Amino acid sequence: MAVAGEHRTTPGRHDARDPAPPVQRDPRWVRAAHERFLATGELAAGVDPVVAASWRRSLVSGVDPDDPDPLLTLPAADLDAYRAAHPLAGAMPLVRSMLVEAAVDDGLVVAVSDDAGRLMWVEGAGRTRAAVDRVGFVEGAVWREERVGTNAPGTALATRRPVQVIGAEHYSRAVQGLSCAAAPIRDLRDGSLLGVLDVTGGRAAASRVVLSLVRATVAGVERELARRTGHAPGGAGPGASGAVAAGGLGGPGVELAVLGPRPVLRGPGGERPLSLRHAEILVLLAAHPRGLAADELAVLLHPGDLTDVSVRAEVSRLRRVTGPLLAQSRPYRLALSPRTDADDVRAALAAGDVGRALAAYPGPLLPRSVAPGVERLRAELAAELRAAVLASREVGVLQAWVRTDDGADDHEAWARLARLAPPGSPLALRARAHLDVLDRLLR
């Protein structure tokens, strides 16, 4: 499998700039690595890291590699009503014109799922349709990793990233004759997940071109949905102001954006993207205004693997980026108190405005960070926000929460939304359908 934008090395060759072992693509090697993992739980060094992580999740979920169990929960009439009311229904003509028509000629199948992994549309070449039908890849079935193991639509749902799963990289042996490429579809208004677009087939689906076509179609769908809602994207987004001279961001009015995938430091001199490590240091220092010694910072960043010398080197590099924001004294501390977007969320919660808090919450705090100190801060903020949401009786607040990555599989929130949504409305139908999936997964 390959993630969009990821460099993938040819088997037997190693890029000296990258200490990680090369990803193996040879089908026999991957199949042997898969069998070894199932027998011993050991992962060979050449397995794609995203595939390896998915295999681990599949094992923990108890997926039987010889008997995948996709959920089929909605009768045909209910499925028709469900997808007719789904936001992606309006984008299907575009999907058909951009992808399905070409897919038929190449012997491929195109599928669109909702944000719970339920396949709403499966269209394409008849011969391939028959092959995917035999493994339960049909309209109404739920193809999540927890049920069928590693697969492109399920793994794209789990990782929120474009992925390609080739042959034996599938966890289930029944699907290893197929390859697939998939990408999440998001609402450009708030970044929430609407569903996943997938292309499945034989050798043609293993091509990098297919993944590029999937990504291009998703981009077109997202723009079309934004146009329909009067929210067509404009401007260049975060970081559009370009590079800022080193040290130009320090001073009054500094803001630190750490919610969502792209940490950014903003100040009078402009805007500058931050590396994950620099963002982690700033977040931890902001949470400890009295300062942190090098050894304390090392423990919060990576206990056991980060030396005091490494921390001092990182802080030195960070000073060149932030200028006077970071004090020169030790223990390390911030000379100024930058306002963070996490502060905006907490301020709205303190004022009792849960809707404003959700609007200020584009995603978890530094979601890619595995630093223990950051993970604790991330969990605390998400827990505060969730508690406020569940205490609310506003349908709009609950709906906004389940659109977030944190709330996407929050059973209690979906149950409350199902109770509060107008009976018979598309929202009530969607909430009940999502609850049905979660109930079966929990059982």
* 384 falls within a domain: yes
d(CA 201, CA 175): 10
The encoded tokens of residue 342 equal 């996490």
* 241 falls within a domain: no
Residue closest to 162 by CA, chosen among 177, 152, 147 = 152
* 406 falls within a domain: yes
Residues 158 and 42 in one domain: yes
What mean pLDDT do residues 175-196 have? 91
Residues 266 and 170 in one domain: no
What mean pLDDT do residues 206-233 have? 84
pTM of the model: 0.63
Which is more confident, 81 or 190?
Answer: 81
| Phi, psi (rounded to 5 degrees) for 183 | -145, 145
Q: Which domain holds residue 283?
A: 255-340
d(CA 217, CA 154): 18
Q: Does the pLDDT value for residue 34 go beyond 80? A: yes
Q: Does the pLDDT value for residue 406 go beyond 80? A: yes
Residue closest to 273 by CA, chosen among 292, 289, 260, 288 = 260
The encoded tokens of residue 224 equal 């079309």
Cβ–Cβ under 8 Å, residues 87 and 194: yes
Tokens 């961001």 correspond to 249
Residues 55 and 181 in one domain: yes
Write the DSSP assignment of 158-188 as a string of letters.
HHTS-EEEEGGGSSSGGGTT-EEEEEEEE-T
Last-in-domain residue among 340, 360, 384: 340
- In terms of average pLDDT, the best of 43-57, 256-270, 324-338 is 43-57
* 15 falls within a domain: no
d(CA 5, CA 13): 19
Q: Does the pLDDT value for residue 27 go beyond 80? A: yes
| Phi, psi (rounded to 5 degrees) for 332 | -65, 135
Helix count (H) and strand count (E) of the chain?
A: 18, 11
Q: Does the pLDDT value for residue 245 go beyond 80? A: no
* 239 falls within a domain: no
CA distances to 14, 68, 122, 150 from 129, in Å: 38, 18, 8, 20
d(CA 431, CA 429): 5
At residue 230, the 3 state secondary structure works out as coil
Residue closest to 156 by CA, chosen among 187, 191, 189, 198 = 198
Contacts (Cβ under 8 Å, ≥6 apart) of 321: 246, 247, 249, 265, 272, 274, 278
Tokens 């080739």 correspond to 166
- Confidence (pLDDT) at 231: 61
Distance of CA 98 to the CA centre of its chain: 24
Residues 295 and 208 in one domain: no
Residues 34 and 92 in one domain: yes
> Quick one: pLDDT band at residue 3, thresholds 50, 70, 90?
very low
Residue closest to 286 by CA, chosen among 318, 238, 247 = 318
Residue closest to 294 by CA, chosen among 336, 285, 286, 246 = 285
- Residue 329: give its domain's CATH number: 1.10.10.10
What mean pLDDT do residues 94-123 have? 91
Region for residue 280 given its phi and psi (left: phi exceeds 0; alpha: psi -120 to 50; beta: otherwise): alpha
d(CA 198, CA 99): 10
What mean pLDDT do residues 308-317 have? 80
Interval 40-94: pLDDT, tens:
999 999 999 999 999 999 999 999 999 988 888 677 888 998 999 999 999 999 9
Residues 405 and 433 in one domain: yes
What mean pLDDT do residues 343-364 have? 89
| Angle ∠(100,106,112) on CA atoms, nearest 5 | 30
- Relative to beta strand 71-72, strand 179-186 is unpaired
Q: Which residues are paired to 269 by β-bridges?
A: none
Report the chain's mean pLDDT, rounded to a whole number. Answer: 84
Number of domains in the chain: 3
* 249 falls within a domain: no
Residues 87 and 147 in one domain: yes
d(CA 204, CA 210): 8
